[in-house]
């Protein structure tokens, strides 16, 4: 029989898959709420899950579902949570395709309607991740340098290098006694 935590995780990822619009980082507030509110993860564990989901190739929600499912129930848990995360969107995609084929103007109106809420979700994700991560002046400086480097000049296209450099700088700065 499946563990209650595993079933809670699968139900949570079914909900996330259906409700998450915009993909990627805009899904973080919903994932955070589902995982922490159900007691599936502590806030620190959620940040670890988020970090691992980001460095693993593939969509954030799928990676998160697979990792949490594996943590809660091994291979079967990983398969269950991953299928939960994709089954809702696949069903919605089928219905949406049929609806938009019949009414093309509806697609443009929907696109315009969801831009604002997706921007809000991105800002919420930023706040959730920055609060526990940027806690002292050195962290603020590292954050601002990384943001600046990733948003201008030739490094704009090489953001994985910026992430690597920031990680190495953080490891050096935060491993020394102060």
Do 160 and 99 reside in the same domain of the chain? no
Residue 172, pLDDT score: 84
Do 106 and 138 reside in the same domain of the chain? no
Please list, in sequence order, all residues whose beta carbon lies within 8 angstroms of the beta carbon of residue 155, skipping any fewer than 6 positions away: 149, 161, 162
Three-class HEC string of the chain: CCCHHHHHHHHHHHHHHHHCCCCHHHHHHHHHHHHHHCCCCCHHHHHHHHHHHHHCCCCHHHHHHHHHHHHHHHHHHHHHHHHHHHHHHHHHHHHHHHHHHHCHHHHHHHHHHHHHHHHHHHHHHHHHHHHHHCCCHHHHHHHHHHHHHHHCHHHHHCHHHHHHHHHHHHHHHHHCCC
2, pLDDT greater than 60 = no
- Residue 159 falls within a domain, yes or no? yes
Each residue's pLDDT tens digit, 97-115? 888 788 878 878 887 888 8
Do 83 and 163 reside in the same domain of the chain? no
Residue 10, pLDDT score: 92
Do 143 and 70 reside in the same domain of the chain? no
- Residue 14 falls within a domain, yes or no? yes
Q: Answer whether 68's CB lies under 8 Å from 8's CB.
A: no
Do 32 and 95 reside in the same domain of the chain? yes
Which residue range is the domain that position 80 belongs to? Answer: 4-115
> Structural domain tally of the chain?
2
Do 48 and 96 reside in the same domain of the chain? yes
- Residue 126 falls within a domain, yes or no? no
47, pLDDT greater than 60 = yes
- Residue 164 falls within a domain, yes or no? yes
Do 31 and 94 reside in the same domain of the chain? yes
pTM, two decimals, is 0.61
28, pLDDT greater than 70 = yes
Do 11 and 92 reside in the same domain of the chain? yes
Q: Could you give the CA distance from residue 170 to residue 143 in angstroms, rounded to a whole number?
A: 10
Residue 21, pLDDT score: 67
Measured CA distances, 60 to 20, 21, 48, 52, 102 (Å)? 11, 12, 13, 9, 32
Residue that finishes a domain, picked among 115, 146, 167 = 115
The mean per-residue pLDDT over the stretch 19-28 comes to 76
Is residue 178 very low, low, confident or very high in pLDDT (cuts 50, 70, 90)? Answer: low
């Amino acid at each position: 029989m499946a563990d209650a935590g595993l079933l809670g995780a699968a139900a949570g990822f079914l909900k996330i898959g259906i409700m998450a619009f915009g993909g990627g980082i805009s899904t973080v507030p919903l994932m955070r709420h589902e995982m922490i509110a159900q007691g599936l993860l502590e806030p620190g564990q959620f940040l670890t899950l988020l970090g691992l989901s980001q460095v693993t190739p593939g969509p954030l929600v799928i990676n998160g579902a697979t990792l949490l499912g594996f943590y809660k129930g091994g291979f079967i848990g990983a398969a269950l949570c991953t299928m939960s995360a994709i089954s809702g969107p696949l069903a919605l995609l089928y219905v949406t395709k049929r609806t938009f084929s019949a009414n093309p103007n509806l697609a443009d109106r929907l696109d315009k309607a969801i831009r604002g809420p997706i921007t809000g979700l991105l800002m919420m994700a930023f706040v959730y991740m920055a609060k526990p991560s940027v806690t002292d002046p050195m962290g603020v400086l590292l954050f601002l340098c990384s943001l600046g480097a990733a948003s201008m000049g030739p490094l704009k296209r090489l953001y994985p290098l910026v992430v690597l450099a920031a990680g190495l700088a953080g490891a050096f700065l935060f491993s020394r006694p102060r």
